[in-house]
Chain A
Amino acid sequence: MSSDRDTTRIVRSWLLDGPTELPDRVLDAVLDQLPSTHQGRATWWPARRLSHMNTPMRFALGAVAIVIAVVLGINLLGSNIGGPSPTPTPAPSGASEEPVVRAWIDAVNERDQEAATAVMSDRVVVSDTTLEREEAARTILETWCPMDVLSVQRVGDSYIVEAAFVEDDLGTCTAGVPGTTGMFVVEVVDGKVSRLP
């Protein structure tokens, strides 16, 4: 009867036999098909799951969490103090910048570096390295998945964007893969999305 060790050794030896080179004709066939095989669209930005996020996004979402907590806290306190719950104040007519926010999200999803740079600080830590904002934006855009916007809600001068992010467990952006839902905050200044508050 074979021991486990014998079996492993025989299997390993057996697996060494066999081709180790891809025939050129197969490679040629692949390369011939490239022009007629469309690449999938790059679907980048933003969030990976928190465990995979690099530093700037953790900071961003951390800041967002704080802002949301403050906003919710204020609303909650407001509802407990002073009698009846205050009616949410609608944004002044014609003053909604939501389309601007959505246009900015579209631009970022298309890896528009200017759009990404707009919300970054002058210096950003990316993977433990401090980068100038332009380079940081470029680096981040190269590695992040897109977002599907679920809602854009105005709170004071800021907009809370709720988005679903897609990625599979290899960190690949795969359409249709259930992703995490997250929120972040942007401001609109002079008709343009500005850096995170």
Chain B
Amino acid sequence: MTRAQRGDEEAFASLAVAVGDRLHAVAHRILRDIDLAEDATQQALLAIWQDLPQLRDPARFDAWSYRLLVRACYAEGRKSRQWSPNMRLLPSDEPMQADGSDSIVDRDQLERGFRRLSIDHRAVVVLHHYLDWPLDRIAETLGVPAGTVRSRLHHAMRGLRAALDADARPPAREVAQ
């Protein structure tokens, strides 16, 4: 890392190979779009290259790189909002599986529910439930108080739960009968 900090492109290439996969995996889970995720990862890696000389403590590289990635996701997310259709949650006829296991419908509903969340909320969900990070680490990475992270996670999970429950409700016509 020290060599990369001093402008060694070969050293940075090794670093990019080492971190590229996990950054991309997180970007995709936040943005839910393969093209946007690739763009965000590319922007994050370039930002890492640019700002690496200013990172004083290599032990904090991980948190720092994810912060840059989330910033890149914000930027890509803003772009996507300019053209993405306004999505609305619709009830489906396929019921939730009786054993509670996640069905295709769950995933579809989660996808819709997740896309309605802001990038702030998505990032917290992904860092906590995908990377298994504790809330204080997420707070440090995102540069926000731990209480804010807790609140975002609560709000996001409530939204996702509502999305799943909306699917579990019987269609309106069944109720009428």
Q: How many A-B residue pairs have CB under 8 A?
A: 139
Could you say which interface size class chain B belongs to? 35 or more
* B164 adjacent to A22 (CB under 8 Å): no
List which A1-52 residues lie within 8 A (CB) of chain B. 1-2, 4, 6-23, 26-27, 29-31, 33-35, 37-44, 48
Complex interface: chain B residues within 8 A of A23 (CB): 38
Given the complex, which residues of A lie within 8 Å of B110, measured CB to CB? 10-11, 14
Q: In the complex the two chains form, is B50's CB within 8 Å of A172's CB?
A: no
Q: Name the prevailing secondary structure of the B interface residues.
A: helix
Could you tell me if A142 and B34 are in contact, using CB atoms closer than 8 angstroms?
no
Q: Is B136 an interface residue (CB 8 A)?
A: no
Most chain A beta-carbon neighbours within 10 Å: one of B52, B160, B161: B161
Report how far A13 CA is from B42 CA in the complex, Å.
Answer: 27
Closest to B39 in A: A26
CB A42 to nearest CB in B, in angstroms, measures: 4
- Report the minimal beta-carbon distance from A170 to chain B, rounded to whole angstroms: 5
Contacts of A167 in B (CB 8 A): 56
| Assembly CA distance A17 to B34 (angstroms) | 13
- CB nearest to B13 among chain A residues: A31
Report whether B50 and A2 are in contact in the complex, using a CB–CB cutoff of 8 Å: no
Contact partner of B56 (CB less than 8 A), chosen from A6, A21, A143, is A143
In the complex, which of the residues B24, B54, B60, B141 contacts A21, with contact meaning CB atoms closer than 8 Å? Answer: B24
CB-CB nearest 7 A-B residue pairs: A42-B53, A22-B20, A22-B24, A10-B102, A7-B161, A15-B130, A173-B54
Binding site for B on A (CB under 8 A): 1-2, 4, 6-23, 26-27, 29-31, 33-35, 37-44, 48, 142-145, 167-174
Interface contacts beyond A19-B34, A42-B5, A142-B56: sample of 16 additional A-B pairs, CB < 8 Å, sorted by A: A2-B100, A10-B106, A11-B160, A12-B129, A18-B25, A19-B25, A20-B22, A22-B21, A22-B24, A26-B41, A27-B16, A39-B52, A48-B56, A142-B2, A167-B56, A171-B60
Residue contacts A-B, CB under 8 angstroms, 23 given = A1-B168, A2-B168, A6-B100, A8-B129, A11-B110, A12-B129, A15-B129, A18-B25, A18-B28, A19-B24, A19-B34, A20-B24, A26-B24, A27-B20, A29-B42, A30-B49, A40-B54, A44-B56, A143-B56, A170-B60, A170-B67, A171-B60, A173-B54
